[in-house]
Chain A
């Protein structure tokens, strides 16, 4: 298995632009998580899905952030409009019923 695949690896965008981050979880995993990591705040859970259904989005910072999981093999995290304070590394992780998360390599987002 190729593991959790995230794209792009790096994204540089201008303030106000829309940004879409993508994630392909491990086949067979039924839970998917989006995290954001910064030096100041560490790893923050933004949202998680179970069986493609959003279960908890209390970590999503504001309405500019949205996440979807249209099927078991794909999820997106969208920021519209982006702001410099959104600059961070965004990780996607998947697991089978909460046993041992597997993280992707992350997307480093820079908003200028």
Chain B
């Protein structure tokens, strides 16, 4: 499985845009990039998944450069309720659906 590297923590203020970059230099050709969000005492929640270029949904945007060795999760106009741990995962290619979670990025949004 491709190893991912992301910042341990990030601080922000309400209304700001938060961008979390994840490095995955050894990503395989068929791997997808997936981001999850976890609140305390809850299981991780799927946010967004992409393979290349840009993906956007109602929660976030995911930017993936052409070489796919990194990706950036963008959270627009964060609120206090966006305080959580965000995980970047790479994998799920072919018939191997195993995903391994790293330490994640703890995002703290302040008023």
Interface residues of A (CB under 8 A from B): 4, 31, 33, 35, 42-45, 48, 50, 55-56, 91, 93, 95, 97-106
Q: Per a CB cutoff under 8 Å, which of B43, B103, B104 touches A93?
A: B43
A99 touches B44 (CB 8 A): no
- B42 at interface, CB cutoff 8 A: yes
B residues contacting the other copy or chain, number (CB 8 A): 21
C-beta contact mask, B73-87 vs A, less than 8 Å → 1, else 0? Answer: 000000000000001
Least CB separation from B92: chain A residue = A98
Q: How far is the CB of B25 from chain A (nearest CB, A)?
A: 21
Hey, which chain A residues are within 8 Å of B41, CB to CB? 106
Q: Per a CB cutoff under 8 Å, which of A48, A100, A105 touches B98?
A: A48
B46 touches A102 (CB 8 A): yes
C-beta contact mask, B84-111 vs A, less than 8 Å → 1, else 0? Answer: 0001000010011111111110000000
Hey, which chain B residues are within 8 Å of A91, CB to CB? 43-44
Hey, which chain B residues are within 8 Å of A97, CB to CB? 97
The CA-CA distance from A16 to B46 in the complex, in Å, is 36
Q: Per a CB cutoff under 8 Å, which of A4, A31, A102, A105 touches B97?
A: A31
Hey, which chain A residues are within 8 Å of B45, CB to CB? 103
- B49 at interface, CB cutoff 8 A: yes
The CA-CA distance from A50 to B42 in the complex, in Å, is 24
Q: Per a CB cutoff under 8 Å, which of B36, B97, B101 touches A50?
A: B97
Q: How far is the CB of A7 from chain B (nearest CB, A)?
A: 14
